[in-house]
Every structure is written in C-alpha cells, then in structure tokens.
Amino acid sequence: MAISGILDWARPGVDVDRGEIATVREDLVTVLCGAVMIAGLAIDGWAHKNVITTLEGFFTPYHAVMYAGYGLTAVWIFWLAYRRRHRFPVWWRDGFPRGYRLGALGALIFAVGGFGDMIWHQTIGIEVGLLPSFSPTHIVASVGGIIIGTSPLRSWWASGEGGARSFAGVVSMTYAAMGALVMLNYGASMMTLAPTRPYEPVLGRDYGGIIDTPDEFWAVQGVSSYIITTLLLTVPLLLMHRRRATLGAGTALVTGIAVRLMVINEFPGVYLTVCLAAIAAAVLADLAIVRLDAVRGPDAALRLPIAGALYAGLVCAGQLAGLHLAVGLRWPPELWTGVVVLVAGLGAMLGGLAARPVSSATGSPVAVDNR
C-alpha cells in the first residue's frame, strides 16, 4: 500500500508534489547524507580499479561505506515524511516535502539494484576494468542513487529560492553527474590521451580511399569522449541555468567529475593537470554566463544556446590546453580546433532544446513549472 502511494507520481492527473516545501536545513542534511553515499561510490570505484579481484564477493569495506551512505539518505527521506504525519495522516503518500517523493521511489529502485548486486557478486564475482560500467545491477542502482541524490535539487526548484537553497541544489546535481559517471567512465574525456597521439590520414593504394589505421581509431575515441563528457556536463548545467543563473554551478559539475576520476585513478599527474585546467575553464564559463544574464536579462534571445556553447566550448578547450601543457598535443590543428567547435555547437543545440517555449499569443517565454 505504501509503495502504491509513492508510485502515484506515474499516474496521469495526479499531483506528485502535494507536500510542503522542505526547510533549507532539511535540504542541507540530505546533501550531507548524500556526501557519505557519493564518497562511498568513489571509494568503491577506486577499489574496483585498483584493489578488488574477480574472486571477491559483495561484502567488502568499500561497499559498506557506500551502502551506509545510501541507508542514511533513504532513512532521512522517509523520516521527513513521517515527521509530518500530524499534518498528513497518510504520511507515506502525502508527507514527503516537494521534490522528495520521487527520491523515495529512487530509494526503492536503489534497494532493488543493491539486492541484485549482492546476488550477482556472490554468484559471478566482482567486476573489474571496464565491466563495472556495464553491470546491469550497477546501472539500476546508479539510476536509483541519482533520483535519491537530486531530491534537494527538486526542492530548490520547487521553492524558487536562492542562497543556501541554491547551494544544496547545485551540490545535489553534482552528485547526480558523479553518479552517472559510473555508467560513463569509459567515455570521460579528462582521461583520454588520444590528442597526444599523431594522426595522419593514409591513402589506400588499391582502392583510392582512406585506410583505417590504429591512429584513426584513437582519434575517433578521443572525439567521442569529448562529446560524451559534453553531454554529461552541459545537460545538468542547462537544467539549472534554465531556471536561474547560479554562479559556481558549472564549476561544481566539472570539479565533481574531476574529483571522482582522480580518486579512482589515484591522482595521475598528466590527468590531474587536465582536470585543473578544465576546472579553471569552467570558472571562466560560469563568470561569463552569469555576467551575460546580468547584462542581457533572463529572458534574452538565445540565452540558453549561448550559455551551452560557452560552457561546452570553454571546458573542452581547457581540457585540451591542460593536456598540451602536460604532454603536448599531436593532433593536427583541424582536429583539435574542430573538436572545440563541435562541442560548442552541441552545447548550443542542447541549449535550444532546453529553452522555454514561446507563447504564440504573447511572444514571451512560457512560465516554467519549478516543481
């Protein structure tokens, strides 16, 4: 019965946020609980890459930290509903603060993924290398964790406030990006050395065309990683910027991704330089985006496409600059400059997709539902 109440969110015509707005303190406590969970995720990722063997089972100290963080966060979310039982008698359905009801569903999804992960590991073993990114149970648990961790983000949108509420929202969105990296580790551009390998197209003598070479496959992998990372960073940035310009939002996303990658890979020098350069570029992008909003206004034409292009292009350029400082770029100019233009264009396109529709009657943007 309790589960059916939580699942009402999926039914047409049902208001999924009948509760009140969480307090700022409640959002910040959720962020603290999520910090334990995301720290455990980073430690577990490090262990999968550096310590754990395929012969080990589910019950490891690395899993213990992550699942303890999950338990804290899940219990806290349900406690927020239970403590409102005097105002909402059917507390398991109506007592969740706005934005947290979906988080309760995420807790259930994570529990299913976690239980499946235990069965998987006890029977098949622990995944290593590339395999953790494709484990079905890891994917299910990651989706549930992302939904849990973004509860303060939805609370921020529901309140429409700034200040500490914005801080909690930005941090929770950063947790989501770090959680999504579980499924996208193989595509992180901060960890690619492809631009340091030379690429020269080779003409085929027999067929008159271009022959695929190992260098070409490296180049394709490198370009793909910049596209994947642009999606991972720019989509959440635009979701936040769509509602309000928030200084530090873009920097937080890049920093979160960089920290997780560095912890998993034990802070390798070359990649650390790339990450620091990407963070510096994100700071510049944040300043530019917020300044543009101050000058042009929140309803200016092409606001989101410009923000997306600036953010994606600068972060990509920062990564390439860091790689050049650490090792030296060996891609031809057409390739590395083209990548920056390509991801900037992708950011602009994402901004266009995220832009609020314009009313045909008034010519003004349609109001956003911040719930």
Same domain, residue pair 125 and 259: no
Per-residue model confidence as pLDDT tens for the chain (371 residues): 344 444 444 343 334 455 689 999 999 999 999 999 999 888 888 877 777 655 566 677 878 889 999 999 999 999 999 999 888 888 888 899 999 999 999 999 999 998 888 887 777 767 666 677 778 888 899 999 999 999 999 999 999 888 899 999 999 999 999 999 888 888 899 999 999 998 877 665 554 555 566 678 889 999 999 999 999 999 999 999 998 899 999 999 999 999 999 988 888 889 999 999 999 999 999 999 999 999 999 889 999 999 999 999 999 999 999 999 999 999 999 999 999 999 999 999 999 999 876 554 445 555 544 44
- Domain edge (last residue) among 187, 217, 241: 187
Cα 74–chain centre separation: 20
Tell me the β-bridge partners of 203. 210
Same domain, residue pair 79 and 208: no
Contact in structure between 110 and 74 (CB atoms under 8 Å):
yes
Same domain, residue pair 361 and 280: yes
Same domain, residue pair 264 and 166: no
Same domain, residue pair 44 and 162: yes
Same domain, residue pair 147 and 293: no
Report the distance separating Cα 55 and Cα 16, nearest Å.
Answer: 44
- Domain edge (last residue) among 169, 187, 205: 187
Residue-number span of the structural domain to which 75 is assigned: 1-187
CA 263 vs CA 50, 74, 144, 146: distances in Å: 11, 25, 23, 20
How many structural domains compose the chain?
2
Element (H, E) at 137: helix 136-149
Same domain, residue pair 245 and 147: no
Same domain, residue pair 241 and 338: yes
CA 163 vs CA 28, 246, 338, 347, 368: distances in Å: 12, 10, 39, 27, 20
Spatial CA neighbour of 129 closest among 60, 186, 56: 186
